[in-house]
Amino acid sequence: MSRRRPIIAIDGPVGAGKSVAARALARALGFSYLNTGAMYRAVAIAAREAGVSPEDADVEARLAPVLAAIKIKFDGESIFLNRRDVTAIVSEPEVGELASRFSAIASVRARMRELQRAAGADGGVVMEGRDIGTAIFPDAEFKFFLVADVKTRARRRFEELKKKGASIAEHEVFEQLIERDRRDSGRELAPLKRADDATEIDSTKLSIDAVVAAMKAKINARINAAKDLKRA
Ligand code: DC
- pLDDT(30) > 90: yes
Confidence of residue 164 (pLDDT cuts 50, 70, 90): confident
Going from N- to C-terminal start, the domains of the chain cover 7-227
pTM: 0.95
CATH annotation of 7-227: 3.40.50.300
> 43 C-alpha to center of ligand 1: Å?
11
41 lines ligand 1 (CB under 6 A): yes
State how far the Cα of 147 lies from the Cα of 175, in Å rounded to an integer: 18
35 lines ligand 1 (CB under 6 A): no
Atom 14 of ligand 1: nearest residue by CA position: 130
- pLDDT(70) > 90: yes
The β-bridge relationship of strands 84-85 and 7-11 is: unpaired
131 lines ligand 1 (CB under 6 A): yes
Averaged pLDDT, 41-54 = 98
What is the largest distance, in Å, between two alpha-carbon atoms of the chain? Answer: 62
- pLDDT(72) > 60: yes
Which pLDDT score, from 0 to 100, does residue 2 have? 66
Burial of 55 (0-12, 13-18, 19+ CB in 10 A): exposed
State how far the Cα of 203 lies from the Cα of 78, in Å rounded to an integer: 26
